[in-house]
Amino acid sequence: MIRFLYTVLLFLVAPILLFGLYKRKPGKPSFGPRWKEHFGITPKLTNPTSPIWIHAVSVGEVIAVTPIIKALKIQNPYQPIVVTTTTSTGAEQVEKLADLVEHRYMPIDFSFAVRGFLKSVKPNKMLIMETELWPNTLHTVAYNNIPITVLNARLSEKSYRNYQKVRPLFDILAKNLSHICCQYQDDAHRFEKLGVDKDKISVTGSVKFDISIPAEAKLAGIQLRNQLGSTRAVWIAASTHKGEDEKVLAAHKEIIQQQSDALLILVPRHPERFNSVYELCKQANFNISRRTQDNVSPQSQIYLGDTMGEMLTLLSAADVCFMGGSLLGDKVGGHNMLEPIALGVPVINGPSYFNFQEISEQLLAEDLMTICNSEFEMANSVLNAWDSNTQDIQERTDKFMLRHRGCIDKTLKLI
């Protein structure tokens, strides 16, 4: 009965959800005729052998699961893998994996759509990246005797409380899961408190610690830094959201007053905001260049990162990083600060980081991250970072990442 009521509700809100999904926005790839895949009209795979099905909602999840995909392929080069995403930007990210996987769009959470997908693809197991749990999908997949494992699972205190409010619905979700690979013991404990069988839970760590920085990204970062000015002071505001850019620009004005040649690399989280952020910078009277126009000069005060999939390159070109999604109260909860840390770039974060609670606490304890509550504090933190011993920071970030590696090996043993 609960699943029936859920399905009725989903039927009513689906038009709104689909409108938001298909709405055209600048910089957002079109779904084209592939929109039918959301309804279970899924093309067969090139390799008819039963594949591993990995679901990664969008860009962030695809990037996070990529090391696991590569490890699976090293383990068995002939194992076909299909990756589903909900968004077209996620699909674009999957295309960068070339011949390792095939991409299909995730069917909407209606049983008929999921059945259509399963009939066409015939997966032997389903791996869900992080905690993207849909009642009808899990029920239909489990009903067809396909084991379901959640990878890199996290359950914040906020999410735990929300699931408690709909405990009967969560019980339906949990009974269909074969295993949950949690990032931390706290996540595992919260799943247990929600009634998940202890035998179904493992703590494997965060796959984000197993990040491998491609040599070409480092080289591209060095080349970009030379282009921006090797002797200039450069900082990056990564994955910013609407409402944060104004604070970042205010901080940059403060910084320029003390470091006149300072350069800010500004990277909005969502591509549809590239143009509006560009206009915002112009209105604030900054001399701004865009990566897509390749027009940076010594007079440029802001370099707009208006491309997708180049975050590692942009981070490599900076001395210090402010990580966005952390100055908006409880709306976002921060983004992955381990990418700059893996590059030896110290991190400044806002006070909201509940999506990365454990990682943040570890970084704070080792003085590898600074918290700022305002644009004034952000500016001071950036200036202080430029005065720090870069060799010492690099050594400490390397040791930090090395201590926490191993998630991929543990995960492969389980799946």
User: Residue 130: left if φ>0, alpha if ψ -120 to 50, beta else—which one?
Assistant: left
3-state secondary structure (DSSP) of residue 302: strand
What Cα–Cα distance (Å) separates residue 127 from each residue in 12, 88, 147, 362?
Answer: 28, 20, 8, 28
Could you count the other beta carbons within 10 Å of the beta carbon of residue 55?
Answer: 23
| Whole-number Å distance between alpha carbons of 339 and 203 | 22
- Identify whether the C-beta of residue 235 lies closer than 8 Å to the C-beta of residue 264: yes
Which helix H or strand E contains 385, and what residues bound it? helix 375-386
61 carries an active-site annotation: yes
Q: Which residue in 61, 102, 130, 339 is the catalytic one?
A: 61
Among 259, 374, 400, 268, smallest CA distance to 324 is for 268
Q: DSSP letter string over 65-106?
A: HHHHHHHHHHH-TT--EEEEESSHHHHHHHGGGGGG-EEEEP
So which residues are the catalytic ones?
A: 61
